[in-house]
Amino acid sequence: LLKTNGLPTYHLAHIVDDHFMGITHVIRAEEWISSAPLHVLIYHALGWPVPRLAHVPDVLGREGGKKLSKRFGAIPILEYRDLGYLPEAVLNYMALLGWSYDGETDVLSRDELIAAFSLDRVGTAPARYDEERLLWLNGVYIRRLSLDELTERALPFMERPEAAGGLPDTVARPLDRAYVARVLSLEQERMKTLAEAPQLTAFFFTPALDYDASQLLAKRMTRVQSLEGVRRTHDLLASPPEWNAAAMEAPLRALVEELGLKPIQLFTAIRVAVTGRTVSPPLFETMEVLGRSITLARLEDAMTHLSAMPEDEQTQ
């Protein structure tokens, strides 16, 4: 029980430590089953009550069947925080590694876990750590946050330096909280981690967009058609007295019919023009948050890009 230098081994040290901390239940990995009789004898020799002992299966890495550990497959717990995982999502996921509530329920709050947990529902087979499932569960928890909570938690990630994954350094800090909340309200459904917020929302904050002009051409669209569609869109959006999604949608859908296009053709060109991306939050709501002046300026930039293309440019 003592090393040659007089220091206690784990077998003695953890028992003394647990006793003076008042530990009543000890849950360890199954590899400690063979040591349990020795530990019981030590408790008896010291005249101390033996806590309830339980042994549970290991957690394996996703591939290779090796035990998850600091040397294989695992990362320090605080890195999950830095990667944008919510503590409540990580707790929920960890509880489901080798344990289940009813075999169907995946999302359980801390209080629900405390009320429901029992060792008799811990499986006998090793659990397998699945990063994709944790990522999915984290997205579920992000979508359950109120907008105020999401804004509070996402702001530190957005205000990080660009080299650390934040918004471009050209974006002034501190960010306007009210504007950030409006932006995040459009991206909340797509977010899986808080650390994604800067990348997903960057076009709301940067004055200029960098994209391939060919993306302005939707499927089976010519340069002339796209240019005319963007120009007419610009003219329509320059005049409505109200700047909101509802006021934009009806006239733009009417313009689609007038130009003989499919909605995806015109709206793809507009989406790329105002966001620099082919995938974005709902288009009309996005333009509402961006504001009239920025939206019109970006449509003008798109017209410049289209005017510079070769005359016969067309997508297939």
Task: Report d(CA 106, CA 139) in Å as an integer.
Answer: 13
Query: Distance between CA atoms of 154 and 199, rounded to whole angstroms?
Result: 12
Quote the distance between the C-alpha of residue 123 and its chain's center.
29
Residue 209 has phi, psi (to 5 degrees) of -110, 150
Please tell me which residue in 67, 70, 192, 219 is annotated as part of the active site. Answer: 70
Per-residue pLDDT of the chain (316 residues), as tens digits, is 999 999 999 999 999 999 999 999 999 999 999 999 999 999 999 999 999 999 999 999 877 678 887 777 778 889 999 999 999 999 999 999 999 888 889 999 999 999 999 998 998 999 999 999 999 999 999 999 999 999 999 999 999 999 999 999 999 999 999 999 999 999 999 999 999 999 999 999 998 899 999 999 988 899 999 999 999 999 999 987 899 999 999 999 999 999 999 999 999 999 999 999 999 999 999 999 999 999 999 999 999 999 998 876 555 4
d(C-alpha 158, C-alpha 167), whole Å: 5
Catalytic, 70? Answer yes
Q: Compute the distance between CA of residue 243 and CA of residue 223 in angstroms, rounded to an integer.
A: 28
Q: Is the pTM of this model over 0.95?
A: no
Local structure of residue 25 (DSSP, 8 states): E
Give the number of C-alpha atoms closer than 13 A to the C-alpha of residue 136, restricted to the C-beta side.
Answer: 6
How would DSSP label each residue in 70-123? TTBB---HHHHHHTT--HHHHHHHHHTSSB-SSSS-----HHHHHHH--GGGB-
d(CA 236, CA 153): 38
